[in-house]
Structure 1
């Protein structure tokens, strides 16, 4: 069986970095591990066929993440299945014509959010596209349940498979704690305003791994710093932090799974995580056991949770161990790849 991945960001060069140990394969979502379970997996992107300058222009000025793979559509017909979270332009074309293959599997970061109340033409067309898909992989139990209720005819082809973590890359180095709180937020949906209010003035260094422009409009408290880190450096920041915080804002509805990648990284590192309560976070964090969930936009609750962990080293250690254990049992990258391979094979056998 051959599965094609369509990513929303450029992956060129990242495979070599993974092989060299300079990065992890979390953002390949099992692609590099499927072969051992009887599935050949690959990806395509316009950068493999066109000059970089032209690709940059097309991505920025002409084709957004939903349509950037459309010029490569007919190359997709060589595969048994396509797996993607955002290639909606290609999915629309696939839905319009009765292609025997590939089967189309949606990787769901927020299908329900995009569907909304199905009042607009765009939402109704999207619902039709979802119904024409061959399968859906959700990364939260709540999303799985809501999708199964919305699309009961697809119930057996909608499955919660947790986000996986590269346990060789994200593992405790035991470098020793620093008096530091750490957060990672390169994607949208971070509630930095509440985070700044909650942790400003605490006698601790607060480090944000992000692109500086994402916090440029907010005044950083004196104990805060923000910059980009390499994957290797992010591991060190996780390892030396006392607490990891994930302040989230999913009101936009575009991606209700925001923060999940950072969550499984931090938990794999054996760190206690304080996160905004969202349906996705609830699929991974057992409140008070392997992490702490706080109400959205509640600076007081967030501050209290962070301080409670900073003041109790034994609780931090116990919670961090429970977090690592959860990842080992449920989110190990190899195990997730095995689940994906099984699901892809199921979809390939299913009648249309």
Structure 2
């Protein structure tokens, strides 16, 4: 089976959630027996990927692959021709949208990896109102087209699968669940160079409003004012999106960009990871923390409910009193069963992921 994979997230932002899944899927597909993998992406002149991927003749910077003019040029002017020339059987796009625009090459089946539908109804951070409006409209059109054009839609959680069916009932027969891959850390963990408190709670992923970080910090401050035993907070990922008055609070520590070894060091050193998101399609940091043996506490109501053990502390992302009460209850260190947490996280490791990908491709081939 000749499989094409849109590798734009892997080249433009390999360290965010979608980019890491793109890279992970490429690795697994490249190692599956019976799969002849072909990567497709724009790239700058001289980029190493041009030696092993299908790239348009025109040069394209690594940054800004999501910009609409560049997307249209790639998805309309290049991909239909490139898929036909490469005789691809199955083409996979991994970032909620981006399937090639018509004309569709004869015989090619399309797979859309749809992580969530939050772009349709939640605001993201953009530099201007005009930019936000343009991206909201284009994202809506792109996702709707991709759902319509896809032969299969892979979602990382049952929650996301149910949301796709709720919003697009006609796509119900296309939807399959492929949980995200959370690879084992292979590097020796190290602590970031910045000084850190002896005890801290960790939050990873602060950029988008749906991560609910400002709300969490507000109620952490209330709880800590009443109970000094509540640990400091360490925040990873886009600290500039935290309100300035909260960034300056005593006990709040903002981390710069970290490599994998430093992030793993934080996971292992944290007393607990909190994930207060009110809209989550999977929750990668939650699994990464448990894989490091670190206990977690999660907001209820979306995919986080299904990816953690039943006895995990949970709270409503809208209930102020409940989260403050839970912080008081978890203020003192506990002795968690770290091996049980690692065992739970193992269900999202490479072996089960590889088996599920092979199963989904076999279904398409049949």
TM range (shorter): 0.7 to 0.9
Q: CA deviation at 1:58?
A: 5.7
Deviations for 1:262-294, whole angstroms, at most 9, x for unmatched residues?
A: 12211211221112213211121244x2x3221
1:213-232 correspondence runs (5 A): 213-220=240-247, 221-228=249-256, 229-232=258-261
Cα drift, residue 337 of structure 1: 2.2
Q: Which runs of 5+ in 1 are unaligned?
A: 16-23, 251-255
CA contact 2:96–2:112 (8 Å) conserved in 1: no
Structure 2: gaps of 5 or more residues: 48-57, 123-136, 191-196
The separation in 1 between residues aligned to 2:13 and 2:167, in whole angstroms, is 39
Instruction: Report whether the alignment pairs 1:106 with 2:112.
Output: yes
* Residues 162, 336 of structure 1: 8 Å contact kept: yes
Please give the alpha-carbon distance, in whole angstroms, between the structure 2 residues aligned to 1:183 and 1:113: 22
1:171 touches 1:268 (CA, 8 Å); kept in 2?
A: no
| Structure 1 partner of 2:268 | 239
1:193 aligns with 2:214: yes
> Does 2:289 correspond to 1:266?
yes
Aligned position for 2:239: 212
Q: Which has the higher contact order (CA 8 A, sep 6+)?
A: 1
In structure 2, C-alpha distance between the alignment counterparts of 1:171 and 1:307, rounded to whole Å: 33
The RMSD of aligned alpha carbons is 3.7
| 1:1-352 equivalences in 2 (<5 Å) | 1-7=1-7, 9-11=9-11, 26=21, 28-38=23-33, 39-47=35-43, 54-55=60-61, 59=65, 63=69, 67=72, 69-70=74-75, 71-73=77-79, 74-77=81-84, 78=86, 79-86=88-95, 88-91=97-100, 93=101, 96-111=102-117, 114=120, 126-127=143-144, 129-148=146-165, 155-169=172-186, 178-185=198-205, 187-188=207-208, 189-200=210-221, 201=224, 202-203=228-229, 204-220=231-247, 221-228=249-256, 229-250=258-279, 256-257=280-281, 260-287=283-310, 289=311, 291-314=312-335, 317-318=336-337, 320-328=338-346, 330-349=347-366
TM-score normalised to the size of structure 1?
0.75
Give the 3 Å change call, closer, same or farther, for CA 25–100 of structure 1 in structure 2. same
SS at match of 1:239: helix
Cα distance per residue 1:131-179 (max 9 Å; x no partner): 3311011111123234456666654532112111112449999xxx941
Task: Give how far 1:244 is off.
Answer: 0.3
